[in-house]
Chains A and B, each alone.
Chain A
Amino acid sequence: MSGASNRLASLKSQLTSSTARDRLLQKNPDDIVVTCALRTAFTKGGRGLFKDTHAGDLLAGIFQGVIKTSGIDPALVEDISVGNVLAPGAGATEFRAAAIVAGFPTTTAVKATNRQCSSGLQACVDIASAISAGIIEVGIGAGVESMSNNYGPDAVSEFSELLNSVKKAKDCKVPMGVLSEQMAKDKGIARVNQDAFAAKSYQKAEAAQKAGLFKEEIWPIETSFEDPKTGEKKRVVVNADDGVRPGMTAEALAKIKPAFAKDGSIHAGNASQISDGAAAVLLMKRSTAQKLGQKIIGKFVTASVAGVDPLLMGIGPWASIPKVFEKTGLSKEDVDIFEINEAFASQCLWCANELGLDEKKINPKGGAIAFGHPLGCTGARQVSTLLTELRRTGGKIGVTSMCIGTGMGMAAVWVAEN
């Protein structure tokens, strides 16, 4: 039977909290908290400074960043889940090796997770759930993608005759660009609106970069880079996103030719960039963080996953965000910042409009259109981008969300602390 302290805690919550927001802001010993969230800079696939860096190396670099920044004893980290989409076997083997390189002892377990573009978030959710269930005490949810090394026609395996024989099943392998073009057409998302949304992403990212707002979340990585012009190999320190084009306007984007259909609306300027990058989130119970003297920067509340029609994968956030609101009792007004992945301006814009979200709350530092979408990394990247901005602006509650290839969406609720 529960003791007097449980009854007292229950009574206290009945007296003190009056709204879902208040309840979320309460601090309880069994909360799953974040004590460190970092990412690498994102650089352009095939051209950027990470083009010669393997996913495992990026991961080892961001792990070292987490160990140094948080001061966590690596031996206390019991499990690491790494989101990845493109590496063979989602990179399970190389990521285990990367953890060892980074300084984790062999007692720290590692797994790879692939839920397409939400892999990085799924990795964090897996670790948070394992901590709540008492399976582990301390863990890391991470994500990494080297699209320079692993992006290509091999990314999707051939479908069998059986899978191809069912229409909805076969739809799962329709390329993202093609289906998003169709969705933009069907849902009547005009190119001019997509370009305006995309230009805004660039402008917000440029302003944030100039103001140094990414400094706190980006851990610099030293790596080798071969200059394609001179063939010269050199050591470089990568500490800034290279995809952010200064001075971008909707007018400039209007000139770019559509990529997937002659009369289409989607092009390189209003879709997410192909990029390389890694991100990691250190998670544990509040009681553990307090015992270890870890600085708490936020808490994970809960997450939702929703399935949608494979050809309408772009509506994933529209399906998953209300689901996480229902679980938490939150409404859109309670949320200070939405980090919604900009896979395509078309789908992000449609979801935001359909949910009636305040434009000012969405991706205040820009998004994947401006600085890139390393597939398996994005979900973990959003955590650092979100928590730093919430803290800077005095906001509290944030939602991260994304659409997922094959027709799904995920959303998670986070609270910034301090």
Chain B
Amino acid sequence: MLSFRTTGFNGYAVKYSPFFDSRIACAASSNFGLVGNGRLYILNLTPQGIVAEKWFDTQDSLFDVTFSESNANQLAVASGDGSIKLFDATLNDFPIRQWREHTREVFSLSWNLVDKNIFASSSWDGNVKIWNPTAPQSLRTINIGSCTYSVAFQPSSPTVLSAVSSDGFMRVFDLRAPEPSAEIAKTRVSPGEVLTQDWNKYRPSVIATAGVDRSIRVWDLKMPSMCQTELVGHEYAVRRIAWSPHWQDVVLSASYDMSVRVWTDGSAQAGGAGPGTGRLLGVMDRHTEFCAGVDWCLFGGEGWAASTGWDEMVWVWDVGSTMGSR
């Protein structure tokens, strides 16, 4: 296990670069993101451990980060002051562009993996916005109506995205559908606030959601009224989940209960014949405060992941060793 201390800043999100196997970004905030500055770390995995290649300080807290899929050095951050800032890792100090349209905390960002010219943002102001990094204004605003904690593009579609929000719903949109709503599906996925979601990397209609009610639920949009699998075990709200890019049934979750957990949704055993029985595969318990961010490495040996939390730590670890035997 490798680690890096984000001294004075509490981690909110961590992401692997889609271009460099050694680069990780971490969005962090002082004073637990309640008040004060934010800092974006560009971390480098070196033979000498993790080194901060660079960092960018921001006026307000940072809650999420996403790498550009079109420019190897660019990445966008979601800020508490409602702004989105685009930084270039080859430059210093200041963002190369920023957008101020959201009226409250921006909480999540998602870059489209197919149409690499667009990314989406979601905010506590109840809106999702679609952006082109070269355009000064957003391309489109989709009103959700309540605090939207997460937005995510479907990984194999240029136009389909989903949003989860404090009202307990997951809404799926297709940008090809007519304005204003573009909504193609809406499902109650939790009795409480939904904080996070992730599309499965292998099954295009499968998505997992999680939040305040501590459960992770797996949904198949072909049957949106029925939860496929429920993964229960976290003792507090689940803040971030991420499906493995290598194992189609494995999902990681970071929770306020200070643990990062590894789960299978059981679909591997079911052999693709419908939902299986999900279960816990392992627990990573090195964090000593709320865990807020987790991401998988796309490169090299399968199963490497990074996590961050309010304990000012970024851990890089081998999920395989946590899972034991599958």
- Chain A positions near chain B (C-beta within 8 angstroms): 1-4, 7-8, 10-11, 13-15, 17-23, 326, 329-331
Contact = CB atoms under 8 A, between A and B. Distances in A.
Contacts of B82: 1
A7 B212 contact: no
A290 to B, nearest CB: 25
B245 to A, nearest CB: 28
A23 B34 CA distance: 22
25 contacts: A1-B60, A1-B105, A2-B124, A3-B35, A7-B105, A10-B124, A10-B147, A11-B34, A13-B193, A13-B212, A14-B211, A14-B212, A15-B236, A15-B256, A17-B192, A17-B193, A18-B212, A18-B214, A19-B192, A19-B213, A20-B191, A23-B192, A326-B188, A329-B167, A331-B191
B236 A329 contact: no
Contacts of A21: 191
B11 to A, nearest CB: 15
Contact of B237 (A1, A15, A331): A15
Interface of A: prevailing SS: helix
Contacts of B213: 18-19
A13 B124 CA distance: 14
Interface in B185-236: 188, 190-193, 195, 211-214, 236
A2 B191 CA distance: 26
Interface in B251-294: 256
Contacts of A1: 60, 80-82, 104-105
A394 to B, nearest CB: 22
Nearest to B104: A2
Contacts, number: 58
B257 to A, nearest CB: 10
B168 interface: yes
B33 interface: yes
Contacts of A330: 191
A141 to B, nearest CB: 25
- Top 5 A-B pairs, shortest CB-CB distance: A4-B35, A20-B191, A4-B34, A329-B191, A14-B237
Nearest to B212: A14
Contact of A7 (B34, B188, B256): B34
A331 B214 CA distance: 18
A2 B79 CA distance: 12
A326 B193 CA distance: 14
A329 B105 contact: no
Contacts of A17: 192-193, 212
A323 to B, nearest CB: 13
B191 A14 contact: no
Nearest to B256: A15
A14 B256 contact: yes
Nearest to A325: B188
Nearest to B211: A14
Contacts of B167: 329
B60 A8 contact: no
A20 B190 CA distance: 9
Nearest to B61: A7
Contacts of A11: 34
Contact of A329 (B34, B60, B192): B192
A6 to B, nearest CB: 9
A37 to B, nearest CB: 28
Interface string B160-180: 000000011000000000000
Contacts of B195: 14
A7 B105 CA distance: 9
Contacts of A7: 33-35, 80, 105
